[in-house]
Amino acid sequence: MPNLSRRHFMIGTSCFALTALAGVPAARAAEYDSHLVASPREVSFFGDQGLATSVWSYGATPGPTLRFKQGQNVRIKLSNELPDPTTVHWHGLRIENAMDGVPFLNQKPIAPGESFIYDFLAKDAGTYWYHPHVNSAEQVGRGLSGAIVVEEPEPIVVDRDLVWVVDDWRLRRDGTLAPFDDFHDATHGGRMGNVVTINGEAQPRLSVRRGERIRLRLINAANARVFGLKFPSADVWRVAVDGHPVDPSQVAGDELVMVSPGGRIDLILDMNGEPGETTIVEDHYYPRYSYVMAEIEYSTDPPIRSGAPAAPKRLAENPVAIPDLAKAERHEMLFEGGAMGGLRQAEYKGEVLGLRDLAGMGLVWAVNGKMIPPMTEADIGSPMLTMERGKSYVLSWHNKTAFDHPIHLHGHSFHLISTDGKRLEKPIIMDTVLIQPDQSVEVAFIADNPGDWALHCHVLEHAEAGMMGFVRVV
Ligand code: C2O
Ligand code: CU
């Protein structure tokens, strides 16, 4: 009998293969399966005794860390128990267009009470994250975000692998979230919170032992805040940026570990404080607003090891194609507008309008002199750029505004090749690059993922006020 059923199975398989050839997509067996439920929930950022805040969550704040292996087929079902439609975007993962989560561009929003199954192949190892892409400023601002760890076949050997989802919240005195859709946020630096959390906790304590080696995966899930962290009592190595390996380099004592909204940095921390000592991790990005992010508490136990371990090895490259700079097609994108930006007028749907009229429609940021209309079900608009599949591109991005803009491209990871006209010695592979006021950067990539891909500022209030469009790869 066992032979017979095995034979049955084999026949079944070959029939299926034939149908697949005839154009029916083959169903992939999922090697990782998970179910997320988005719903309202109460949390406290200040421990058990603190004020309660009503947030939106994927079951926990932040959502559960999705951990799978490089090369696995992943299937994640999202059930929407929120009062509003939603989607999930898998930030930084280079996946099929239909799974990318941008409403109307990639999929229909998932209505309240409905579910959607995302499935994709995890091509790249590293640290990524997930968040909604419908009314992102509000939905991410209400707490919808979570970490993704795609495990390398050969990781760096550490004593502990930790994820820090850093976020901020704008709370009123009673602990409730301040209202969204603040026009001042949209025209200035975005929604800055007044409470910063790590994994949903304000100023958490991390217990460590002297000599311990920790891999710390920093993910910036804040709507608008850039973090510039200082880690005392540790030797700090940068080993990956936006999921992709870099040559391990030690962070100098007074250097800040910067991570902009949407971005990720993987660090190796060799903890070298004294047993019993308590030190603090501080954010120093905004000079006048430095504050304590976390406390690091050394146990009184003897050191885990005597002396520092060897420098961390470089992680294996992800399969990101290397652009051919000599043959690349070049395009410029000039970002303008916002408060104190000096922009008077811009083109909107073929008509030149004054900034006042545009602001009346909620649009304050322009790209190459044009305001990008929001993508709707009836009209997604036209691509900012159409690219040929397989070809190399260099995009040169200039920030002519008074604010920071972390610019994010979907579906691709790009090589950052220059900042302010200066070539980087070695390009850095990223998906979100912070461009400060008056700064310009050049990014290069091969347009190898077909479809329409969002390109936007990850200050989510900016994206919703016009700093979001898309590019097309055909
Ligand atoms: Cu993390 Cu289009 O975003
Ligand atoms: Cu911006």
Q: What is the pLDDT of residues 216-247, one digit of tens each?
A: 999 999 999 999 999 989 999 999 999 999 99
Residues 335 and 358 in one domain: yes
Atom 1 in ligand 1: residue holding the nearest Cα: 91
Atom of ligand 1 nearest to the CA of 432: 1
Atom of ligand 1 nearest to the CA of 454: 2
406 lines ligand 1 (CB under 6 A): no
- Above 60 in pLDDT, residue 185? yes
For the record, the structure tokens of 98 come out as: 């239909």
454 lines ligand 1 (CB under 6 A): yes
Chosen domain end from 106, 125, 150: 150
Structural domain contains residue 378: yes
Structural domain contains residue 94: yes
264 lines ligand 1 (CB under 6 A): no
Residues 142 and 187 in one domain: no
Chosen domain end from 100, 124, 150: 150
91 lines ligand 1 (CB under 6 A): yes
Residue 424 sits in a domain of what CATH number? 2.60.40.420
Average of per-residue pLDDT across 130-151: 98
Structural domain contains residue 175: yes
End-to-end Cα spacing for the chain: 51
- Mean pLDDT of all residues in the chain? 93
Atom of ligand 1 nearest to the CA of 133: 2
Structural domain contains residue 53: yes
Domain containing residue 238:
160-298
Structural domain contains residue 375: yes
User: Ligand 1: distance of its center to the CA of 262 in Å?
Assistant: 7
Residue 414 · residue 471 · CB < 8 Å: no
Residues 165 and 135 in one domain: no
User: Ligand 2: distance of its center to the CA of 397 in Å?
Assistant: 12
- Above 60 in pLDDT, residue 276? yes
Chosen domain end from 263, 281, 298: 298
Q: Which ligand has the nearest atom to the CA of 462?
A: 2
Residues 387 and 421 in one domain: yes
Atom of ligand 1 nearest to the CA of 92: 1
User: Ligand 2: distance of its center to the CA of 46 in Å?
Assistant: 30
Predicted pLDDT of residue 22: 43
- Total number of domains constituting the chain: 3
- Position 28 confidence tier, pLDDT thresholds 50, 70, 90: low
Residue 270 · residue 235 · CB < 8 Å: yes
Residues 330 and 292 in one domain: no
89 lines ligand 1 (CB under 6 A): yes
Q: Give the C-alpha separation, 147 to 133, whole Å.
A: 16
pLDDT 10s digits, 279-336: 999 999 998 889 999 999 999 999 999 888 999 999 999 999 999 999 999 999 999 9
Give ∠ CA 109-115-121 in degrees, rounded to 5.
85
- Position 27 confidence tier, pLDDT thresholds 50, 70, 90: low
Residues 232 and 292 in one domain: yes
- Above 90 in pLDDT, residue 1? no
Residues 377 and 448 in one domain: yes
pLDDT 10s digits, 43-66: 999 987 778 999 999 999 999 999
Predicted pLDDT of residue 53: 97
User: Ligand 1: distance of its center to the CA of 408 in Å?
Assistant: 7
